[in-house]
Amino acid sequence: MSSSNEWQVDILDAVQQCVYCGYCGICPTFRELKWETYHPRGILDQIKMYFEDTTKEELKGDISKSLFDSIFACTMCKACENICIADIPLLKIWEQVRQESFKRGRWNPALLSLYNKVKNTQNIFGLPKDERVSWADLSNMVMTKRTQRKASLAYFVGCQASYSGKMEGVAASVVKILRKARVDFTILGDEEWCCGSPVFLAGGYSVGKSFAKHNLDQFKKLGVKRIVTACAGCYRAFKIVYPRILGDKWDLEVLHISELVAELLEQKKLKYKKTIKEKITFKDPCELVRHCGLIEPPREIIEMIPGVRYEDLPSNREEALCCGGGGLLKLNDADLVRQVNSRLIEEIEYSEAEIVVNGCPTCLDTIQQGVKKKGLDVEVIDIAELIKRAIGE
């Protein structure tokens, strides 16, 4: 695994800036686990001990055990970095420590297996490439003409919407929205490779970089200028990670489906035809809101639906609660995911919403499970599915 200088921060220098205020204790996994070894402030302490030359070698084994355990108990929700009063780039630090753990051969088997699956099959499920567009068959859609055609807009479906039965409605909804608005677009089809998000999250740098290059080549080949996605993970990868690793070569405009819908509504290319009577709330996905600062478009397009009854969750926007499913935590500690998720489910219950709208497949899956477990009568859908309903498709 290689690394790039711009990608890296000087860990010891960054750790030094911590003023020990403890605000990062809002960390959703620390809140559940309680030990200060999981407190981001405590993780920084461990990082210092691990990387400092003055630490005795014989202690480093012990230190690394606790440090790597803590670093993989993180959902990468960015709540810590968001609140950090010293502006420490905590997420970059967490990524670097994950890389260090990979280098030392300390990834757990589930994580390693995911990594290998993505590396070998270019999707997170390890499924054949030629099944990438099978979601279209399931939705009775024909995508042959759209696949690999030249167009300035590309819809990047993402692994979850492409392969997961639970997400099958998401891709179909996006396509219906685009068709309804008569937008010319293309999809990469079999040549769509995982955006690399899970690999980057696990700290896998060079594999992720080869994915980024492949996807960029594909977009360039088709003359793509803008990409739309309904997946918060892909969106983050395109918005934040690709520019970091591809530099100026990455000159494409990236849109979340909510941003594109807002634009299409404004241009009157899209019109709502149906009222939606159920009370709606929106769970800000961490990767949209804290990582990319995407806050208003989802709310704007929901609030424009005729007859809508919308209310934010008590913790919303930058302060939104994490669903627990990010950072590959599911592969490390499924119980912890459920614990973190239960806090969000409490807020959903409090909101009395009948539909919880979301913009991230990971959140969607985690929230659906949480709602089911709590026995709530709440529908959990992607924002693309909601818009599809509102335009009468």
Residue list 48-87, contact with other proteins (CB under 8 A): 49, 59, 62-63, 65-67, 83, 85-87
Give the per-residue contact string, 343-372, with other proteins (x = CB under 8 A; - = no).
-------x----------------------
Candidates 14, 29, 195, 233: give the one binding ligand SF4 (CB under 6 A): 29
d(CA 191, CA 214): 9
Rounded CA gap, 323 and 57, in Å? 38
Question: Rounded to whole angstroms, what are the CA distances from 201 to 16, 246, 373, 374?
Answer: 24, 17, 28, 29
Paired tokens of 206: 């060079």
269: which DSSP letter?
S
- Measured distance CA(15)–CA(221) in Å, rounded: 43
Nearer CB in complex with ligand SF4: 13/20: 20
Give 280: exposed, middle or buried? Use CB within 10 Å, 0-12, 13-18, 19+: buried
Task: Give yes or no for residue 332 binding ligand SF4 (CB under 6 A).
Answer: no
Instruction: Work out what residue 46 binds among ligand SF4, other proteins, none; the CB cut-off runs from 5 to 8 Å by kind.
Output: other proteins
**φ, ψ at 145 (rounded to 5°):** -70, -30
- Least separation in angstroms between CB 112 and ligand SF4: 21
Q: Contact, 314 vs 275, CB < 8 A?
A: no
From the list other proteins, ligand SF4, none, which binds 334 (C-beta under 5 to 8 Å, kind-based)? none
* Residues 30/39, Cβ–Cβ less than 8 Å: yes
CA–CA separation, 290 and 343 (whole Å): 18
* C-beta neighbour count of 303 within 10 angstroms: 12
Closer residue to other proteins, CB minimum distance, 86 or 127: 86
Tell me which residue has tokens 């934010």.
312
Which entry of other proteins, ligand SF4, none binds 27, CB below 5 to 8 A by partner kind? ligand SF4
Selection from other proteins, ligand SF4, none that 63 binds (CB < 5 to 8 A by kind) is other proteins
Select from ligand SF4, other proteins, none the partner in contact with residue 62, using the beta carbon and a kind-dependent cut-off of 5 to 8 Å. other proteins
Q: Which parts of 90-129 interact with ligand SF4 (CB under 6 A)?
A: 90
Determine which residue in the list 20, 54, 248, 268 makes contact with other proteins, applying CB under 8 A.
20
Size of the site for other proteins (CB under 8 A): 31
Q: Among residues 11, 33, 63, 80, which is the contact residue for ligand SF4, using CB under 6 A?
A: 80
Q: Which residues bind ligand SF4 (CB under 6 A)?
A: 18-24, 27-29, 40-41, 44, 74-80, 83-86, 88, 90
